[in-house]
Structure 1
Amino acid sequence: MSNSEQALTLVILAAGLGSRFGGDKQLAELGPNGETMLELSLKSAYKAGFSKAVLIIRPELAPMLDEALMGKFVDNFSVEYCVQSMDDLPTTVQGFADVAQREKPWGTAHALWSAREHVQGPMAVINADDFYGDSAFSLLAEGLSAANDDWMMVGYPINLTLSENGGVNRGLCQVVDGKLVDVAEWLEIRQDALGLTGLLNEERLVIADNAVVSMTCWGFKPDIFAVIEQEFSEFIKLHGKQPKTECYLPSVVQARIDNNSHATSTWGVKVSVAQESWYGVTYPEDVEWVKVKLQQTLTTK
């Protein structure tokens, strides 16, 4: 079966703890009619042609999500849960991990790997607590339906993704000829005396104002799971005893790009830059601003 004939699945990373926000952002009612960001994304995905969603969650979120989503979707759009469990590790590296000492989940790469039994075809991967806009899902559906093995990413201009209330983490991207060359996770990005700066490998550096960032809006083919297993296994060998270190999806994508750089294959990660603004809440102080922006965006369509 070709990619164009396969059903499209939306995988939503919804297991985060929202530590800086102070609660479960997945359940925050931010839309003009009290919708959560997750509900808005599900509606956008359905309009774009996705037929299934897999929500990666902590088990205690299930009853609250049931209540929030009950009766919101048509019969030909299925929503199922996948629990991210900290002891769900590749068998070859379980001895390298100290699960009992973990203070938080293993990160976004592990979260997606947790869904490996739930997804058979091409998939989009997003965060539950971000607003991406209808056009992002249309771009994802178009790219994932192409008859090739390429992955893809919908990126956003960095200045549209910052918070006035504190630093944020972003995957900064280098794009050449429409394909992703490099993506690196920068932490605590903020405006300061030097301009826009962030932490890369614990060093604070200046960031270009026109940088494109990954907001966890990816399109993958099923081979992503094998790549995650390999890279996450290496991560566990190095960091499995540490209580907070996380394995990020951008690191896995970068490893695939690097491993393919000397190959004769034309495979790549195609990049589209979103035509709509991204909105998200990192801190409680972001809530009212995001509500206003969503009201303006969704009631003017």
Structure 2
Amino acid sequence: MQPTLLILAAGMASRYGSLKQIQQFGPSGETIIDYSIYDAIRAGFGKIVFIIRDNFAEEFKEIFEPKLKGKVETAYVFQDMNAFVGEHAVPADRTKPWGTAHAVLCAKDAINEPFAVINADDFYGRDAFEKMAEFLKGECAADRYSVVGYELGKTISEYGSVSRGVCEVNGTGNLAGITERTKIYIDNGKIVYEDGDKKVELGPKTPVSMNFWGFAPSVFPVSEKLFDQFLDQKITDPKSEFFIPIVVDQFIASGTGSVKVIPTSSQWFGVTYKEDAPGVQASLSALVNKGEYPDNLWK
């Protein structure tokens, strides 16, 4: 069975103002999502599921359907604020979606096979997709998930601090825990994060999560139960979010299963700051010139 790729794109319109301005980085106007889908198809993924918001669904489909028609199956899922809230009443002042793990949960009815999850605006690289596809086809199970571990030094922006899920890996190559560090940056040539008022150094090869996960459909009931508990505690906090690492940490801590850390040599890039954009364009041009990608992905 071919695995599915779930792309988290519900936050896109708010970041770009309008979808017509989805940034084009490739030589033929490709977006970062285009490269992810291209890498996924050639790695053997059989279906692409987009998580979007219904207020830009038509615009979104107009961009992607003509390119992907006949190349891969597609499906669209909406991240709706009221999905899976059960008996809880959503506060009137809540405007923010419930976060990445809730977005995944919204795809419950669209996915029945092992699947990967990625962000829409991160470039993950061919190596990462191939290793993830291999895991999903051969090793993924109800009690066996995975995350791609990037080398921290290959995920830093020159233009400011970044947030990364710093992975603690045990002796068997599995995830022992993941800690979100919200302010990682280069300070005098060293990579540091801030913890209160002190700076802590991290090595450039420290494995970090860029939100590239591999799951079995068993993650849906696990997430549903945890989301209910999350709402019991956090529903009145307008900024609270139900993130994927919350689910994964609980999955590991409860002894339900293990999460393999898949190391990759891929260079990550994304647009955390607008100053990052020319670098992303230059990096993609270099990959095209090296023959890693055609100069027009979909022709």
TM-score when normalising by structure 2: 0.88
Contact kept, 8 Å, 1:109 with 1:249, in 2: the verdict is yes
1:214 aligns with 2:214: no
Separation of aligned partners in 1, 2:289 and 2:120: 21
> Higher mean Cα deviation, 123-132 or 231-240?
231-240
Q: Distance in 2 between matches of 1:136 and 1:50?
A: 13
Amino acid of the structure 2 residue aligned with 1:226:
P
Q: How well do the aligned residues superpose, as a CA RMSD in angstroms?
A: 2.2
Matches within 5 A, 1:1-301: 6-17=1-12, 23=17, 27-75=22-70, 77-92=72-87, 94-95=88-89, 97-98=90-91, 100-147=92-139, 149=141, 150-176=144-170, 177-192=172-187, 195-199=190-194, 205-209=199-203, 210-260=205-255, 267-301=257-291
Contact 1:184 1:251 in 2 (8 A): no
Moved more, 41-50 or 290-299: 290-299
User: Structure 1 residues 67, 18: closer, same or farther in 2, change over 3 A?
Assistant: closer
Q: Are the structure 2 counterparts of residues 173 and 88 from structure 1 closer, same or farther at C-alpha, using a change threshold of 3 Å?
A: same
Distance 1:15 1:123 in 2: 18
Runs of 4+ off more than 6 Å: none
- Does structure 1 conserve the Cα–Cα contact (< 8 Å) formed by 2:4 and 2:114? yes
Unmatched 5+ stretches in structure 1:
1-5
Q: What amino acid sits opposite 1:135 in the alignment?
A: D
Change (3 A) 1:24 1:283: farther
Q: Distance in 2 between matches of 1:169 and 1:207?
A: 15
Per-residue deviation at 1:22?
Answer: 5.7
Count of residues in Structure 1 that have an aligned counterpart in Structure 2 = 286
Q: Distance in 1 between matches of 2:232 and 2:100?
A: 17
Cα shift readout 1:64-88 (whole Å, capped 9, x = no counterpart):
3223223222525111111101111
Structure 1 residue 247: Cα displacement: 1.4
- Structure 2: give runs of 5+ residues left out of the alignment: 292-299
SS at match of 1:50: coil
SS where residue 89 of structure 1 aligns? coil
Q: 1:115 to 1:36 in 2, by over 3 A?
A: same
Q: CA deviation at 1:136?
A: 1.1
Cα distance in structure 2, aligned partners of 1:125 and 1:299: 28
Q: What is the rounded CA distance, in whole Å, between the counterparts of 1:157 and 1:18 in structure 2?
A: 30
The amino acid that maps onto 1:140 is M
How far is the alpha carbon of 1:281 from its aligned partner?
0.5
* Identical positions, percent: 37
